[in-house]
Amino acid sequence: MNHYTVGVEQEFLLVDPDSRRPVALAPRVREISRAPGDLDVQGELTPFQIEIATGVTSSFDELSEQVRLGRRVLVDAADETGCRLVATGMPPIGEAGPPPGSDDGRYHRIEYSHRRLVTGTGACGLHVHVGVSSSSEALAASNKLRAWLPTLLALSANSPYSQGEDTGYASWRSMVWSRWPVSGPPPFWHGPADYDRTVEALISSEALMDRAMVYWDVRPSADHPTVEVRVADIPQLATEVVVLAELVRALVVTEPSEQRVDDSVLRAAYWRASRDGVDGLAADPHTGKLSPAFDRAASLVEHVAVALRDRGTLSTVEQQLDWLRHNGCGAARQRRYPDPESLVDMLIARTREET
Rounded to the nearest 5°, which phi and psi values hold at 224? -135, 155
Closest CA relative to residue 158, chosen from 10, 319, 308: 10
Show the 3-state SS of 271-287: HHHHHHCCCCEEECCCC
Residue 100 is predicted with a pLDDT of 47
The pTM (predicted TM-score) of the whole model is 0.94
CB atoms within 10 A of CB 24: 19
Closest CA relative to residue 253, chosen from 205, 304, 293, 198: 304
Residue 353 is predicted with a pLDDT of 84
Residue 231 CA to residue 154 CA, distance in Å, equals 10
Show the 3-state SS of the chain: CCCCCEEEEEEEEEECCCCCCECCCHHHHHHHCCCCCCCEEEECCCCCEEEEECCCECCHHHHHHHHHHHHHHHHHHHHHHCCEEECCCCCCCCCCCCCCCCCCHHHHHHHHHHHHHCCCCCCCEEEEEEECCCHHHHHHHHHHHHHHHHHHHHHHCCECEECCEECCCCEHHHHHHCCCCCEECCCCCCCHHHHHHHHHHHHHHCCCCCHHHCEECEEECCCCCEEEEEEEECCCCHHHHHHHHHHHHHHHHCCCCCCCCCHHHHHHHHHHHHHHCCCCEEECCCCCCEEEHHHHHHHHHHHCHHHHHHHCCHHHHHHHHHHHHHHCCHHHHHCCCCCHHHHHHHHHHHHHHCC
**Neighbour-count burial of 96, counting CB atoms closer than 10 A to its CB (0-12 exposed, 13-18 middle, 19+ buried):** buried
Residue 97 is predicted with a pLDDT of 58
Residues with pLDDT less than 70, the chain: 1-3, 95-104, 106-108, 112, 114-121, 355
Number of alpha carbons in the 13 Å side-chain half-sphere of residue 343 = 27
Residue 101 is predicted with a pLDDT of 44
**Cα 126 to the center of its chain, rounded Å:** 3
Q: Which CATH class is domain 6-339?
A: alpha beta
Residue 25 CA to residue 33 CA, distance in Å, equals 12
Residue 95 is predicted with a pLDDT of 67
Per domain, the residue ranges of the chain are 6-339
Residue 125 CA to residue 157 CA, distance in Å, equals 10
Residue 1 is predicted with a pLDDT of 36
